[in-house]
Structure 1
Amino acid sequence: MSKTKERSAAPTAGPVPQQAQAAGPVAPPRVSARRRRPGVIALSLALIAAGGAGVAVLLLQVGDRTDVVTVVRNVQVGQVLTEQDLGKASVALDPAVKAVRVDNKESVVGKRAAVELKPGSLLSPSQVTKDSLVKAGEQLVPIGLKPEQVPATALVPGQKVQLVHVPAQGAADTGKELGKDSPQSIAGRVVKASKAAPGTGVVVVDVATTADDGPTVAAWVSADALRLVLDSPENS
């Protein structure tokens, strides 16, 4: 055997490090225990309970919803309600709000709008009526208005108007002979107004008057001697 192999096989001489000889289990550091305060614990439990109660109330409010009838398109005063005018929505309804429930939808279909109805609003029982806008003792007179005679303000059902007699040029002095200082007029109420007719622009307005005034108004219309004047909102 060579001297090189003998040297590599020989054990290494020398002292063993002192740390290796003294190796053993290490004790964990001491951690001082915190004192538990009963007041803090009670407060924490109270906050947790209050938070849980709040969530429960919120869930109950969200879950307690009612299906009610809504308006999906414009409905004028006096117009008959149809299925296409109405929709439904599920809302958390306040007891103070009187709305028609979906279960009672059939009770309002076929009735007339007592007020103008706007899309997106809830329908209440007081907004509909079974009565016609033409009351007992009244007559309905159709009046054709030329484009220059149609008011810029939209004519809506229920609006009060004055039907003014405007005599023809040759009969302008008739009123003076009768001792009248101002043109004769008859009170009326708009029941319905049509859209302007294509080509002519004529608007037909159905006006309700008393049964005694109906024939007079019809004669004025026939003679083209009538003008329609809107009453102020205070008088409507």
Structure 2
Amino acid sequence: MSGPVRPPRVSARRRRPGVIALSLALIAAGGAGVAVLLLQVGDRTDVVTVVRDVQVGQVLTEDDLGKASIALDPAVKAVRSKDLNSVVGRRAAVELKPGSLLAPSQVTKDSLVKTGEQLVPIGLEPKQIPATELVPGQRVQLVHVPAQGTADTGKASEAAAPTIEGRVVKASDAAPGTGIVVVDVATSAADGPTAAVWEAAGSLHLVLAAADGS
């Protein structure tokens, strides 16, 4: 006669304290990461943005500008949204492109072509212009260098070449194929026509003035 049937023994799974501690640590770390992310998302600055192409010297209007809220690095200088009205009506000191932040240094209250000046567009081949990038505000000299074989060549070798003082207002990118760069130069009203004649004759070279403007 068989004895009573015993129910099968179910062994309890042994819990390992190390696994539990690791799980708690991962949960805690994940929570900390979420907290840092939330803090970064919350720390945002309202700034002014550019929404349309603006040429150098153009007066800024409200239609040219927009607003955005971004996480801004303290090292980045940008006009705050609350100061938007202070830049409307000022001129662009550099060319502005849509999608960029507006920096205080990119606007000016001064006209880039002042009273008593003329704006002379000058097309220059690579050999007639420095390799250094030209930026608005740079002081330059327009030098008259007669082409070889002209009647003025001998005279130019005996005396200093005539020069005209000017200031860069805008410089285009080099044209594909030719490398020609068009530079808008502000000169005195008296010198503007002379510079235009030199440019038309192809006898003009552009030289950067000293850093102190002398």
Q: TM-score if structure 2 supplies the norm length?
A: 0.64
Match of 1:199 in 2: none
1:92 and 2:71 are equivalent in the alignment? yes
Q: TM-score if structure 1 supplies the norm length?
A: 0.59
The CA deviation string for residues 84-132 of structure 1, in whole angstroms up to 9 with x for no partner, is 3222222112223222122211111122223333332211222222233
1:189 and 2:167 are equivalent in the alignment? yes
* Counterpart Cα distance in 1 of 2:183 and 2:17: 84
* Counterpart Cα distance in 2 of 1:190 and 1:85: 24
Residue 206 of structure 2 aligns to which amino acid in structure 1?
L
Cα distance 1:219–1:124, how it changes in 2: closer, same or farther (>3 A)?
closer
Match of 1:226 in 2: 198
Is 1:166–1:225's contact at 8 Å kept on the other side of the alignment?
no
* Counterpart Cα distance in 2 of 1:79 and 1:128: 10
- Which deviates the most, 35-44 or 52-61? 35-44
1:62 and 2:38 are equivalent in the alignment? no
> Deviation of residue 218 (structure 1)?
4.8
* Counterpart Cα distance in 1 of 2:19 and 2:184: 78
The CA deviation string for residues 35-94 of structure 1, in whole angstroms up to 9 with x for no partner, is 333333223212211111211221232233333211223334333222232222221122
Residue 132 of structure 1 aligns to which amino acid in structure 2?
S
Structure exhibiting the larger radius of gyration computed from Cα positions = 1
The alignment partner of 1:150 has SS state of: strand
* Counterpart Cα distance in 2 of 1:31 and 1:186: 102
Match of 2:117 in 1: 140
* Counterpart Cα distance in 1 of 2:26 and 2:208: 61
Residue 124 of structure 2 aligns to which amino acid in structure 1?
P
Cα distance 1:186–1:233, how it changes in 2: closer, same or farther (>3 A)?
closer
> Deviation of residue 28 (structure 1)?
4.6
Is 1:78–1:157's contact at 8 Å kept on the other side of the alignment?
no
The alignment partner of 2:116 has SS state of: strand
* Counterpart Cα distance in 2 of 1:205 and 1:162: 13
Pairing of 1:145-184 with structure 2 (within 5 A) = 150-151=123-124, 157-158=136-137, 160-164=139-143, 172=151, 176=155, 180-184=158-162
Unaligned runs of 5+ in 1: 1-25, 194-202
Unaligned runs of 5+ in 2: 127-133, 172-181
Figure out how many residues of one structure are paired with residues of the other and give that number: 188
Cα distance 1:233–1:120, how it changes in 2: closer, same or farther (>3 A)?
farther
1:46 and 2:25 are equivalent in the alignment? yes
Match of 1:112 in 2: 91
Q: Which runs of 4+ in 1 moved over 4 A?
A: 164-167, 203-206, 232-236
